Structure 1
Amino acid sequence: MENLKLKDFLDYKYLSGLELSPNKKFGAFVVNSSDYDENKYLSNIWIYNCLSNVYKKLTTMNNEKNFIWLNNDILLFPSTRDEKLKEKIKEGEQWTSYYSININGGEAEEYMRIPMVVSDIQIIAEDKFLITAIYDHYGINLHSLIGDEKTKAIDIIKENKDYEVLDEIPFWSNGEGFTNKKRNRLYLYDKGTNSLTPISKQFENITLCSVRDGVALYISENFTNKKEQTTGLFMYDLYSKEATCVIEDGEYSIDFAEFIGDNIVFCGSLMDKFGINQNCNIYKIENGDIKLLLEHDFGMHNSVGSDCRLSGGKDVRIYNNSIYFVSTESKSSFIKKLSLDGTVEKLTKDNGSVDCFDICDDGILFIGLRGNKLQELYTLKAGIETQMTKFNEIIIETKNIIKPEFIEFINDNNTIEGFILKPVDYDKNKMYPGILNIHGGPKTVYGSVFFHEMQYWANEGYFVFFCNPRGSDGRGDEFADIRGKYGTIDYDDLMKFTDLILEKYPQIDPTRIGVTGGSYGGFMTNWIIGHTDRFKCAASQRSIANWISKFGTTDIGYYFNTDQNQSSPWDNVEKMWWHSPIKYANQAVTPTLFIHSEEDYRCWLAEGLQMFTALKYHGVDARLCLFKGENHELSRSGKPKHRVRRLEEITNWFEKYLK
């Protein structure tokens, strides 16, 4: 077996977007791989035959990231292959071109062109589609212009590229850029007449949920100055062309909705007890009345962290009048089945994460990280999981993969769960450096799933240890609730976990331990260096330094910061300052590397610059590596070369101070 190398993640395959055909005989999914030389990812659609268990590559143009089933044999996927269309898009025209391909063979052919940037699409009838697409209130529509008018409009678009006008919050969004007065709008597209008809209002943001019997179900939020955290639920009758409000906006934060039998079910949170991080319940709407179907104290969705995914897929499904959903409990995510009588059944085992799934009479097909393996496609039949693909099997067969050892302890009557990776070729008679890794969120979890950076560090001779302190997901609302407590009970859990690790493993040199983390983990790294000198070095990634400045500069700051700190800059500013790591930067002595991305609008660059400047000002060794063209997802889905450089920067910093 070979030691895992830093660049080995470039050979991993990343699976996503699983969807079964209407007749449930085939599954389609996307396989992504890295192209280091071109510094991008290659994405193609694959087909899995549910009867023969054979899987094959369907597309080969390396840019097919999503799709829908047109019928049992044909897939539609967006792609820009026509050179003239590419030139039009460069000039500023908005287009989404869909291609069709038969899963039984043949070349892809252009099927239709929609004069919008489509974000979601559903078939409602032959040649008729419901779509959501980006509507820009301040944008210029070139489609209706010709001649000098079009030339002048193109010149205006070029001129406006140097400017951004802001008149609402949030004005930008991580991964999307500036979003001011841009909305995900609902449209009806008729392929036969090539007509596009807006359905929702110009300032409504729409999530299209489902279409049945000529009725569309969608989640809506309508705002012009400040986006709130509640949403409404609506139905639109495609025949009468009338919208009906099912749930008024203002009470629930709705995450999912779907028709079931003659009724509607939805996942929503009232946010009344634990704020914006409160877990969703599942409700049924029957004869206009909202009835609680399941009061759920666990996260709805997979929150088990890994740096070995690129995209997701659907994690809630309706089948045979039951709701199937992914839920995170403890250190794993599971598929659960909820019947309409309120009975809940857990269908999968405590063995990692389920990333997306689909379901039929014969069982469940899902993509997941199971055990120590990278992503693969699995079937679940009669309670038995079977791995059906071997995209990443060579990694498991040829590389040293360290199995995480599970550790738990009690702190303040709470059980804290954690893990440790021993260094490769571990010798109990030797001394080793150690790394504490802190997850983001804070409402996510570490599990035993494959995590490249930590496996790599263990292969480089480090003990790597990580845990789920209070604030993490998977243990219920009360455990996850650290509003107004950042840097207190969570910090205590992490420090006592470190104490336990050093006691349990005397082979770790306590004078050679480092700490790192991203997002919330970056906040905690910044907090740690201002409150203890026990770590020889630190690597703070996409961090939070100042809750006051973050309030006014990031996409979620104006509501996340106030909710999580139970204060605002005008209401107990002293509390926001008390919980800000920058307040304690003058006490820091730990050499610290800062990793930030220029387009990270979640934890903006200004946060890292403040901490970096403070440490330099006080004579502490510090280094900041800024990644241009990257956002908050750098460590997970950043460009391949940038992900390599990021891991090199952190590893070199640890090598400098810990070895």
Structure 2
Amino acid sequence: MSDSQSSTTKRCITAEDLYRLHWVSDPAIHPISGEIAYVEQYINKEWTDYNSGIWLLSSEGASALPFTYGPKDETPVWSPDGSQLAFLRTTDGKRQVWIIPERGGEARQLTHVENNVRSLAWSPDGTCISFVAKTAENPSSPTSDGGTQEAQLKGRVVNRTKAKSDGYGLWDDTRDHLYVTDVTSGHTVQLTSGAYDVAEPVWSPDGQRILFVARIAEHSKEDTDLRKQNDLFTIAPATSNGDAAAPLKLTHSELHIESAAYSPDGSTIAFYGHDRHAKGATQTRLYTVPSSGGTAVCVSETLDAHLGNAGMSDMRSHLHIGPPRFSADGQSLYTLVTLEGNVHVYQFALDGTFKILTQGDREIYQFELTSDEQHIIAASTDVALPGDLFRIAIHSGIEERLTRVNDSLLDEIEISVPESFWTEVEDGRRVQGWVMKPAGFKEGVSYPAILEIHGGPHAMYSNSFFHEFQLLAAQGYTVIYTNPGGSRGYGQSFTNVVLGDYGGHDYTDLLSAVDEAIRQFPFIHPERLGVTGGSYGGFMTNWIVGHTDRFRAAVTQRSISNWLSMYGVSDIGYSFTEDEVGGNPWDDCELLWKQSPLAYVQQINTPLLILHGEQDLRCPIEQGEQLFTALRRLGKPTQFVRFPASSHELSRKGHPQLRVERLQRITNWFVKHQI
């Protein structure tokens, strides 16, 4: 907000302001000069797609300059000597590795593999780049991205238990495998093959091994899609005759491992993971293991918190945060930690002691360290800022904002700044929530309120910018949002509350938070309430309207209505249902039906808008269809809006025009029903 401009001269935010937002991510620090390459994404002028380019900031933080021109460039990674920048560019629907000289010029395409590339990494000597790409086990099989007429006339054989992924589609006969390409010649070698998927590859400091995460079957009959643990493996970049070697297993199949990094001397590996003692609700922790293999040791035992970023908003979707970062002396590790509405950078010594390095009510969603470890370059958001880069001095805490990608928009619009509150619930837990006042707020006036419920459920509303919430406030609504039992950020026992009890303590937490918000903020009209949420938040919206008539109208988004069918149709259905609800359809039919909102459809009297993406594979559209059909059959007030070609990520990275329409339909539904 400009100091010279008061809120009275500003306008309210609109759904169409989405078209003006810019998003920054992926800071990469030059190893010598300290220059910062980063990605800036925005919606194109036709409002039909997202463009992105790589920008360059001097080490002093002078004005940023465009370094590549896209239209779809991402994931910048400097070579070890800083002479070249590798990045991913998408052209004609194919994402490949490109390289551009340090001082700019013409970028050249390095890889030419069949499918999209991700997870690129330079070898320590700068001669090679490793990457991961989908690889057909049977090249003659039609694949998800093969839209030819010939492919449309062939049956697609499915043999895997986990056969699809939201946002991608059917995997068919493909696996994620590891490749290495020579930077000079472009010669590419496939290093891994077989019935497993490679994730998060990193090079050893001596360049002799590449470390990765995978589930590799111990015997021919094992279905690794049913195994919840995975392992660390290493593989040589190539044998002396150029052939790929066999992977070497380092860990003991005891943990769910996410990503890993070598210490500078190569003696130790640090990684994120957990032991699944609370199934999928288990907090991610920080471990080390000798690089030769052995028993892992938990470094973060003393902190009851989730390591990584569990923050949730509609500004970004599942950005890669990478592995933990070792200090130069190998004696400590830097990581993000999710705790009580904030995400900050922490430093853990190997003995488990830790320091909090960043401060304030914010969500740091990505970060890098300068080579001297004196500063953090953080991609950070707060309730009034969609996201920018900051340089933060580790010892003094002094901050410098390096980018201002949304200032022209923010200077025009009124922002509602949330106020935090806490609710003590019946079992003694404390539930954190926030209230946003409506635009043009006046003392002595009562205002309607909308309860927003996040997805997950093992996620967290954070101190971050939320376009949807700002839009509701601009429409004259108070916005209440909270982190009920099951959320991340409040310790393991708090997250466990929801397991086997969906619609139990989480339901009462939400209603108690509404009661407390009305008590602490008496301008909230107690009878003019609406409710909305997506994914798990959609499940809870469905559950709430099936158990109370307290809300005048509701909007359920990408929701779950029936666990019996969810088990078999979702891309995570069988594992998620078993972990979260605690059963399967053949042994526990009564339990799954009892936990399904559809079982209570006859009790729904609240006007319910159902929003769903037609290509949602996480909570497939049949979940919305079942609920809509039942409501129509019972003569209940409802409407169903299907968004074409939209996945579970519609609200965060769906088609821009559909994202705007979604926001408009939410606000219009509440207006229509006089909330």
TM-score for both structures, normalised by structure 1: 0.92
Output one character per residue of 1:560-613: Cα deviation in whole Å (capped at 9) or x when no partner: 111111221123221111111000011100110011001111111011111111
Correspondent of 2:269 among 242, 252, 264? 264
1:319 paired to 2:327: yes
Per the alignment, residue 147 of structure 1 pairs with: none
Per the alignment, residue 146 of structure 1 pairs with: none
Per the alignment, residue 180 of structure 2 pairs with: 188
Per the alignment, residue 518 of structure 2 pairs with: 502
| Segment drifting more, 368-377 vs 551-560 | 368-377
For 2:327, give the aligned amino acid. Answer: Y
How far is 1:341 from its partner? 2.4
Correspondent of 1:19 among 28, 31, 35? 28
How far is 1:252 from its partner? 1.0
Unmatched segments (≥5 aa) in structure 1? 90-94, 143-153
Residues 409 and 307 (structure 1), Cα distance of their counterparts in 2 relative to 1, 3 Å cut: same
Per the alignment, residue 370 of structure 1 pairs with: 382
Identical-residue share of aligned pairs (%): 30
Taking the TM superposition and a 5 Å limit, the aligned residue runs for 1:464-475 are: 464-475=479-490
Output one character per residue of 1:519-573: Cα deviation in whole Å (capped at 9) or x when no partner: 0100000001100011111000000001110000001111111111122112322
1:10 paired to 2:10: no
Per the alignment, residue 415 of structure 2 pairs with: 401
Output one character per residue of 1:52-100: Cα deviation in whole Å (capped at 9) or x when no partner: 544211122321123322341422233366xxxx5xx8xxxxx755433
For 2:361, give the aligned amino acid. Answer: N
Correspondent of 1:583 among 563, 583, 599? 599
For 1:183, give the aligned amino acid. Answer: R
C-alpha contact 1:453 1:647 (8 A) present in aligned 2:
yes
For 1:303, give the aligned amino acid. Answer: A
Taking the TM superposition and a 5 Å limit, the aligned residue runs for 1:229-378 are: 229-238=228-237, 241-248=245-252, 250-260=253-263, 261=265, 262-272=267-277, 274-286=278-290, 288-295=294-301, 296-309=303-316, 312-315=319-322, 316-320=324-328, 321=330, 322-360=332-370, 361=372, 362-378=374-390
For 1:220, give the aligned amino acid. Answer: A
C-alpha contact 1:46 1:55 (8 A) present in aligned 2:
yes
Residues 35 and 193 (structure 1), Cα distance of their counterparts in 2 relative to 1, 3 Å cut: closer
How far is 1:506 from its partner? 3.7
Per the alignment, residue 216 of structure 2 pairs with: 222
Of Structure 1 and Structure 2, the greater strand share is in: 1
1:559 paired to 2:551: no
How far is 1:170 from its partner? 1.2
Per the alignment, residue 5 of structure 2 pairs with: none
| Segment drifting more, 564-573 vs 158-167 | 158-167
Per the alignment, residue 29 of structure 1 pairs with: 38
1:204 is paired with a residue of what secondary structure?
coil
Per the alignment, residue 167 of structure 1 pairs with: 159
How far is 1:467 from its partner? 0.8
1:649 is paired with a residue of what secondary structure?
helix
| Segment drifting more, 513-522 vs 131-140 | 131-140
Output one character per residue of 1:101-141: Cα deviation in whole Å (capped at 9) or x when no partner: 23423233344534553222222245433221111223339
Per the alignment, residue 129 of structure 1 pairs with: 129
C-alpha contact 2:84 2:99 (8 A) present in aligned 1:
yes
Per the alignment, residue 72 of structure 2 pairs with: 63
TM-score for both structures, normalised by structure 2: 0.89
How far is 1:191 from its partner? 5.0
Correspondent of 2:469 among 454, 463, 469? 454
| C-alpha distance in structure 2 between counterparts of 1:371 and 1:12, whole Å | 15
2:543 is paired with a residue of what secondary structure?
helix
For 1:326, give the aligned amino acid. Answer: L
1:658 is paired with a residue of what secondary structure?
coil
Per the alignment, residue 528 of structure 1 pairs with: 544
C-alpha contact 1:140 1:157 (8 A) present in aligned 2:
no
How far is 1:167 from its partner? 1.5
C-alpha contact 2:363 2:463 (8 A) present in aligned 1:
no
Unmatched segments (≥5 aa) in structure 2? 1-9, 240-244
How far is 1:188 from its partner? 2.8
For 1:41, give the aligned amino acid. Answer: Y
Residues 384 and 614 (structure 1), Cα distance of their counterparts in 2 relative to 1, 3 Å cut: same
1:375 is paired with a residue of what secondary structure?
strand
| C-alpha distance in structure 2 between counterparts of 1:595 and 1:418, whole Å | 25
How far is 1:471 from its partner? 0.6
Correspondent of 2:478 among 448, 463, 474? 463
Per the alignment, residue 530 of structure 2 pairs with: 514
2:112 is paired with a residue of what secondary structure?
strand
| C-alpha distance in structure 2 between counterparts of 1:112 and 1:499, whole Å | 57
Number of equivalenced pairs: 635
Output one character per residue of 1:406-441: Cα deviation in whole Å (capped at 9) or x when no partner: 111211201111011111111233232211110111
How far is 1:268 from its partner? 1.6
Instruction: State the Cα RMSD in Å.
Output: 2.3
1:629 is paired with a residue of what secondary structure?
coil
| C-alpha distance in structure 2 between counterparts of 1:168 and 1:591, whole Å | 40
How far is 1:371 from its partner? 4.7
How far is 1:23 from its partner? 2.4
1:158 is paired with a residue of what secondary structure?
helix
| C-alpha distance in structure 1 between counterparts of 2:504 and 2:317, whole Å | 33
